[in-house]
């Protein structure tokens, strides 16, 4: 298969070489998920953009994810084409650049940026010298992206600890935090009436699981709790939207990865032997029809991280650079979707 190789800059949660024809058929198109509820799959491959959602309330628009500044500027006219109501709130599902660096653009358009309080905590840790600490990913990304260089980081100012609810009687959106998954500040936007769930990168639909700022064990537990909401439609952080099977498959991908590693550990394999088994485990996952789309360039890092979480010793490879708590700021990750 012809592959289109794409290099995305550091500090994003997704760096991937993606066959666009497979995964981005609906890129840059606005889809009405339900009356007044929209999903927009961002152009990840060419521009690093995340997916966006928005809900048109009686008095205002709530946007889900801020995207990069260029992504925000792509989406704003599309919202404006549908409604002239003020865009009053932009919700960051997490702190990563492709979901939060566009905050300033939304702010300049009249919005207040909303997030779980963990987003600010992680921004302080990883993203920026804004709070007086060392420079971080924002500053690094600004060296590579003109849209970031031309903007500034605007951290969320309206924070919630457990949940925040928007309800005008017609639409109801609950912003919820269930614990650590993709990051320690993951927020979900849940529409209980329509049973639509916007997940950010806690659930993706394709080989986009960057695990370095999260915890795979907790991720499975968190998404298992999320599943109890009973969503019918999943609007993921990257990749096309789908039904609840997207969430089921996302959970299953990490569950099976962990189960395979547990088997190796139980069989008494040492670190070198576990590492040697990586290709076999990858094949096992790729042989599962519903999971193969999750196996991509992040696999070696996911495999190693899951092993370390289970008590294993880190491999002496580059993948160690993306283990939890280890800054990967100097790393440049290139990869590709594996078919």
Closer by beta carbon to Zn ion, 140 or else 201: 201
Interacting residue with Zn ion among 8, 9, 13, 226 (CB under 5 A): 13
Distance CA 144, CA 232 (A): 39
The 3-state DSSP class for residue 55 equals strand
Closer by beta carbon to Zn ion, 13 or else 142: 13
CB of 182 to Zn ion, least distance (A): 6
Site pattern 117..156 for Zn ion (x: CB under 5 A): ----------------------------------------
Place of tokens 């999943």: 234
Stretch that binds Zn ion, among 10-18, 218-226, 243-251, 316-324 (CB under 5 A): 10-18
Stretch that binds Zn ion, among 21-29, 94-102, 104-112, 248-256 (CB under 5 A): 94-102
Beta strands in the chain (DSSP E): 30-34, 37-40, 52-56, 61-64, 87-92, 112-116, 158-160, 163-167, 172-176, 188-191, 196-200, 233-236, 242-243
Q: What is the DSSP string of 242-307?
A: EETHHHHHHHHHHHHHHHHHHHHHHTT--HHHHHHTHHHHHHHHHTSTTTGGG-STTHHHHHHHHH
CB of 311 to Zn ion, least distance (A): 26
Two tokens, residue 120: 């600010």
CB of 19 to Zn ion, least distance (A): 21
CB of 35 to Zn ion, least distance (A): 29
- How far CA 283 is from CA of 8, 49, 114, 275, in Å, comes to 26, 29, 41, 14
CB of 284 to Zn ion, least distance (A): 26
CB of 270 to Zn ion, least distance (A): 33
Stretch that binds Zn ion, among 3-11, 92-100, 101-109, 259-267 (CB under 5 A): 92-100
CB 274 within 8 A of CB 265: yes
Q: Hey, which residues between 95 and 114 contact Zn ion (CB under 5 A)?
A: 96
335 CB contacts (<8 Å, ≥6 apart)?
Answer: 15, 16, 17, 296, 297, 298
**Residue at shortest CB range from Zn ion:** 13
Stretch that binds Zn ion, among 12-20, 111-119, 126-134, 267-275 (CB under 5 A): 12-20
Stretch that binds Zn ion, among 21-29, 90-98, 271-279, 313-321 (CB under 5 A): 90-98
Closer by beta carbon to Zn ion, 98 or else 309: 98
Q: Please report how many Cα atoms fall inside a 13 Å half-sphere around the Cα of residue 82, on the Cβ side.
A: 19
Q: Hey, which residues between 192 and 251 contact Zn ion (CB under 5 A)?
A: 201
Closer by beta carbon to Zn ion, 47 or else 96: 96
Distance CA 294, CA 155 (A): 31
Contact set with Zn ion (CB under 5 A) = 13, 96, 201
């Amino acid at each position: 298969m012809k592959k289109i190789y794409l290099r995305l800059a550091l500090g994003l949660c997704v760096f991937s070489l993606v066959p666009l024809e497979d995964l981005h058929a609906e890129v840059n198109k606005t889809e009405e998920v339900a009356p007044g509820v929209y999903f927009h799959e961002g152009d990840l491959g060419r521009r690093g953009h995340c997916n966006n959602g928005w809900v048109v309330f009686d008095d205002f628009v709530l946007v889900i994810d801020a995207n990069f500044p260029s992504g925000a500027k792509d989406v704003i006219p599309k919202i404006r084409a549908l409604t002239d109501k003020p865009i009053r709130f932009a919700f960051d599902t997490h702190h990563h650049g492709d979901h939060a660096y566009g905050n300033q653009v939304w702010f300049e358009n009249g919005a207040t940026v909303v997030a779980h309080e963990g987003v600010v905590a992680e921004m302080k840790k990883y993203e920026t010298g804004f709070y007086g600490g060392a420079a971080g990913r924002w500053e690094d990304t600004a060296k590579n992206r003109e849209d970031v260089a031309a903007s500034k980081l605007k951290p969320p100012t309206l924070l919630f600890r457990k949940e925040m609810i928007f309800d005008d009687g017609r639409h109801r959106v609950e912003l919820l935090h269930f614990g650590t998954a993709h990051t320690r500040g993951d927020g979900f936007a849940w529409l209980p009436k329509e049973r639509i769930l916007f997940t950010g990168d806690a659930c993706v639909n394709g080989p986009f699981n960057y695990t370095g700022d999260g915890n795979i064990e907790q991720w499975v537990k968190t998404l298992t709790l999320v599943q109890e909401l009973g969503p019918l439609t999943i609007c993921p952080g990257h990749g096309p939207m789908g039904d609840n099977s997207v969430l089921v498959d996302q959970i299953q991908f990490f569950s099976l990865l962990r189960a395979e590693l547990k088997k190796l550990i139980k069989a008494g394999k040492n670190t070198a032997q576990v590492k040697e088994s990586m290709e076999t485990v990858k094949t096992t996952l790729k042989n599962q029809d519903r999971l193969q789309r999750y196996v991509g360039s992040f696999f070696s890092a996911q495999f190693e991280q899951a092993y370390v979480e289970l008590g294993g010793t880190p491999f002496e490879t580059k993948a160690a650079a993306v283990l939890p708590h280890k800054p990967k700021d100097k790393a440049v990750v290139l990869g590709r979707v594996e078919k």
